[in-house]
Amino acid sequence: MQDQLIPAYPATPEGQKNFLAAVKDVAKNLDRGIGFCYWGGEWVAFKGNQSTDCSPWENQAFYDFNFKALPVVEVFNEE
pLDDT in tens, 47-70: 656 666 656 666 778 888 788 999
The band of 19, judged by pLDDT with boundaries at 50, 70 and 90, is very high
Q: What is the tally of structural domains in the chain?
A: 1
**Which residues form the domain of 25?**
19-77
Residue 8: inside a domain: no
Residues 41-51, mean pLDDT to the nearest whole number: 66
Residue 6: inside a domain: no
Residue 37: inside a domain: yes
Residue 1: inside a domain: no
Residue 13: inside a domain: no
Q: Counting Cβ atoms within 10 Å, is residue 75 exposed (0-12), middle (13-18) or buried (19+)?
A: buried
> CB under 8 Å, gap of 24 or more: what pairs does 21-28 form?
21/75, 21/78, 24/75, 24/78
The dihedral formed by the CA atoms of 56, 61, 64 and 68, expressed in degrees to the nearest 10:
-150
Residue 5: inside a domain: no
